Structure 1
Amino acid sequence: MPTNIDNLATQVQAAAQRLSIGKYDIYGASVDDTSVQVDQGEPKQVKASNRSSVTVRVWNDAGRVGVTSTSEIDPAGLELALKTAYEASEFGIKDNAPDFSPEATTEISAPGEDTAPTSPVAELIEKLVGAEKQLLGAHAAIASVPYNGLSQRDVDRFYLNSQGARRHDIRSAASIYLYSKTEQDGKKPRSAGAFKVARNVAGLDIDGCIEEAAEKTISHLAYEKIKSGKYPVVLSADAFLSLMGAFSNLFNAQNILDKQSLSTQESLGTAIASPLISLYDDALHPENIGGETFDGEGTPTQRLPLIENGVLTHFLHSAGTAKRMKAQPTGHANMGSKVTVGRHFFHAMRGEPAEKTYNLDDADGVILIDDVQALHAGVQSLQGSFSLPFDGWLIENGKRTSIESATVAGDFLKLLNSILYVEEELELVGGGLAPRVWVEELSITGE
């Protein structure tokens, strides 16, 4: 049942008065999640869960803040959390203590509810079994779909504080993931996957997911080794945004203040990339299913330009980082035992027009990277370097040949500055929305 934010605010206010607490705020989220997995036509795993998490902050008369967390949203649980946070405030920090966001009470024009009906578990299993069967039948070499999943969720979020802020969001989302694997005598297993998301199960492009997974898997069957060297590279939307996410300390104000970033405060307004590329963080983009209208501090989210025509234009801020850097909060605070800063939904696109256009249909000696792997191990985010295994193809005279095994390495800032061309067509992937990006050259190491 959706949170009644007005009743909750009244109950919390009464509890705070009983405890003689004058300043507090509360951020909470509840997730109803149902997911299924199948194996060779049979249900493998069915999960249904309801998870709640609430963070309570209380300020004492000395301006120190205490923080506690709870999974209880009933009046008794919240009163206990207020009392615990108040007691903890005696040990709160003095320097750069968090405070309310100045934007926590400003009006939000975006709708706070975007829900859809849920589907019964039996329907989820039926659809996923059917998808697995179709994918297995797409080619004789496809022997299994070892990783798959169909899920639906409702997320209910709220924020309130003692100054009268009241925020409430409830949103629905559904997704399907299919990852197939081949088996052929005398050949290495090959694999590929696809992912789709929609407001609900009925809206999922399941056929498109099957087709994409099959097409990618089949394209890797005839593979060849590749010589090590420097190659012109085309990054898929997924590969480009994976790298952008791995080096997002470029934009993170908390990382910058902690000196854990490739940027400094003086980097704003400087060119960090080719003028051919622009990048936004846009929590409210129509393609961002389940997007948030406010962050953990109640600050409204927005479309924030990060790179415009190659120039670094904004950082991601919480209320605390914005105050320290004399900026405005941007709606990127994550509430927890401490406030952190994180991105929402990247939207990469063309910047300035390119002098020359490129096309994969007639490309020669170019490597198309479909996805990069092992980001947790192969990225040195503070040095700006990466060395990552990848799936992809060598393109010769427009013909694609799968690469047996290889890694791509480079410096991320050099990569951004060596962009040759940004394609027009955008693709929705897990990290956001982006086109394919052509890069002058990167180091490729074959097996």
Structure 2
Amino acid sequence: MPTIQDIAAYAEASAQKLGITKYDVYGSSVDETSVQVDKGDPKQVKASNRSSVIVRVWNDQGKVGVTSTSDVDPMGMDLALESARDASAFGVADHIPDFSPEATAPTAEVDLPPVDPAPVGELIQQLVALEKQLLEAHPAIASVPYNGLAQRSIDRFYLNSAGALRQEARSYASVYLYSKTEQEGRKPRSAGAVRVNRGLPLLDLEGCLKEAADKTISHLNYDKIATGKYRVVFSGEAFLSLLGAFSNMYNAQSILDHRSLSTPDSLGSVVASDLLSVYDDALHPENISAETFDGEGTPTRRVPIIEKGVLTHFLHSAGTAKRMGASPTGHASIGAKVSVGPSYYHVLPGTEAKGEFSLDNASNVILIDDLQALHAGVNSLQGSFSLPFDGWLINQGERVSVESATVAGDFRDLLKAIIHVEPHVEITPGGLCPRIWVDSLSITGEQ
């Protein structure tokens, strides 16, 4: 891909030639290599290079047209700007998007230099060794049906006709192991683990292997659970899954589209226990793929969403911020329509909890490690959920895997029923979050 300076020059020359005075361009290029193995042999090896560029043009009536391309040479830029200009005649007349007022503001300095990719042969060798060790971790582990080792390099840029010019490069590697057991007279059990870091040399392969093995082995001792109300502890990853499923609560675009659990007047209201605080922090040091600007060129930042139970901020694009009298927060993605989405969560304790909470001496407590079927079991507009889960029933330090059960409730009630937020956070690909204790949730199991 040409340099951002070249692309900016091509865009400016094309715009002058076509009589276009207002435009912006957002693009990314991704180089990715991934491998999978099966019983010691390579199962799938993939390499790809993907480029995507979004071009927006505003016409004399202020309407905007949008087109996408993967060709950013002078001819490709001519065609993209011309197509977007022609499409602008059919642009929306209400709430027309505009440049972010912060598109030229300074961005944070983040020291995340890309790591050179490893050879494909090394990826295969490492993954074959991990699969072998996982299979040998316990006689009941019969296969590792889902596994993968991947590395990715990303280049992003944003420019507009008002002088904005931003770019950044990132790289990261990820490993995923998911094992399955087979025992005569027993149901198959499975569990997995994932790790992400800036490159293969920094990837915690041993930690991923140990977590996958320990979880799988812990599920061998399973039993049915009775239906009823239980005190529930969500792992950091499980709680973040729920938080993401109901992100319309603090998504300004969802609120303006009347597709949210909140309204514009919800700011300042109590939505959770005062024990809970939630931030979105794209720039957190643990965010391996930290982005310093969003799709509109707005600098990213740490945004407090819930502070000690109070809803304090919505996530904004430039357009939603203008309509709601706020400032853009750096959470926009541009396309045919500008969308808003979270970057990287940071959940931490708010007010200090009273009493002692420890899984070592807890009685009749459910620890939920992973929530499943979020696409089907969540009604984000009503706030309700009913989800199968992987987890354990804990009694005085003894863990027994739950054979099959679902957890159900209302997300708003769940937030207010939080009785403890542990101080130690778990690092997950989607953010940082400690275990969250919730009083009295409905669990449907079997007698």
1:100 is the counterpart of 2:112: no
Helix, strand or coil for the counterpart of 1:84?
A: helix
1:251 is the counterpart of 2:255: no
**Counterparts of 2:323 and 2:342, CA distance in 1:** 19
1:381 is the counterpart of 2:380: yes
Q: Deviations over 1:388-447 (max 9, x none)?
A: 000000011121111110000011010000000011111111321100000011100014
Specify the code of the residue in structure 2 equivalent to 1:434. Answer: C
Helix, strand or coil for the counterpart of 1:95?
A: coil
**Counterparts of 1:110 and 1:255, CA distance in 2:** 31
Bigger CA drift: 289-298 or 111-120?
111-120
Which residue of the partner structure matches residue 53 of structure 1?
52
Q: Deviations over 1:262-295 (max 9, x none)?
A: 0111110111000001000011111111111100
Q: CA RMSD in A?
A: 0.9
**Counterparts of 1:201 and 1:100, CA distance in 2:** 38
Which residue of the partner structure matches residue 204 of structure 2?
205
Helix, strand or coil for the counterpart of 2:423?
A: coil
**Counterparts of 1:158 and 1:346, CA distance in 2:** 23
Which residue of the partner structure matches residue 339 of structure 2?
340
Contact kept in structure 1, 2:180 and 2:189, CA below 8 Å: yes
**Counterparts of 1:109 and 1:214, CA distance in 2:** 39
- Length, aligned pairs only: 446
Q: Deviations over 1:199-246 (max 9, x none)?
A: 001111101100000000000001110000000000000110000000
Helix, strand or coil for the counterpart of 2:335?
A: coil
Helix, strand or coil for the counterpart of 2:183?
A: coil
Aligned 1:60-79 pairs, distance under 5 A: 60-79=59-78
1:423 is the counterpart of 2:415: no
1:13 is the counterpart of 2:12: yes
**Counterparts of 2:382 and 2:430, CA distance in 1:** 22
1:270 is the counterpart of 2:269: yes
Contact kept in structure 2, 1:103 and 1:298, CA below 8 Å: yes
Which residue of the partner structure matches residue 294 of structure 2?
295
Contact kept in structure 1, 2:108 and 2:299, CA below 8 Å: no
**Counterparts of 1:408 and 1:389, CA distance in 2:** 6
Aligned-residue sequence identity (percent) comes to 65
Helix, strand or coil for the counterpart of 2:424?
A: coil
Which residue of the partner structure matches residue 432 of structure 1?
431
Helix, strand or coil for the counterpart of 1:131?
A: helix
Contact kept in structure 1, 2:421 and 2:435, CA below 8 Å: yes
**Counterparts of 1:194 and 1:414, CA distance in 2:** 30
Which residue of the partner structure matches residue 353 of structure 1?
352
Give the superposition deviation at 1:112.
7.7
**Counterparts of 1:48 and 1:387, CA distance in 2:** 38
Contact kept in structure 1, 2:423 and 2:434, CA below 8 Å: yes
Specify the code of the residue in structure 1 equivalent to 2:95. Answer: N
Which residue of the partner structure matches residue 411 of structure 1?
410
TM-score, normalised by the number of residues in structure 1: 0.99
**Counterparts of 1:62 and 1:112, CA distance in 2:** 42
Contact kept in structure 2, 1:356 and 1:421, CA below 8 Å: no
Aligned 1:24-173 pairs, distance under 5 A: 24-111=23-110, 114-173=113-172
**Counterparts of 2:74 and 2:285, CA distance in 1:** 36
1:330 is the counterpart of 2:334: no
Contact kept in structure 2, 1:277 and 1:308, CA below 8 Å: yes
Which residue of the partner structure matches residue 311 of structure 1?
310
Contact kept in structure 2, 1:308 and 1:351, CA below 8 Å: yes
Which residue of the partner structure matches residue 183 of structure 2?
184
Change (3 A) 1:198 1:113: closer
Specify the code of the residue in structure 1 equivalent to 2:55. Answer: V
Helix, strand or coil for the counterpart of 2:139?
A: coil
Contact kept in structure 2, 1:112 and 1:168, CA below 8 Å: no
Bigger CA drift: 102-111 or 252-261?
102-111
**Counterparts of 1:362 and 1:244, CA distance in 2:** 28
Contact kept in structure 2, 1:112 and 1:169, CA below 8 Å: no
Change (3 A) 1:113 1:70: farther
Which residue of the partner structure matches residue 365 of structure 2?
366
Helix, strand or coil for the counterpart of 2:273?
A: coil
Contact kept in structure 2, 1:34 and 1:47, CA below 8 Å: yes
**Counterparts of 1:8 and 1:291, CA distance in 2:** 24
TM-score, normalised by the number of residues in structure 2: 0.99
**Counterparts of 2:353 and 2:343, CA distance in 1:** 28
**Counterparts of 1:183 and 1:29, CA distance in 2:** 44
Helix, strand or coil for the counterpart of 1:425?
A: strand
Unaligned 5+ runs, structure 1? none
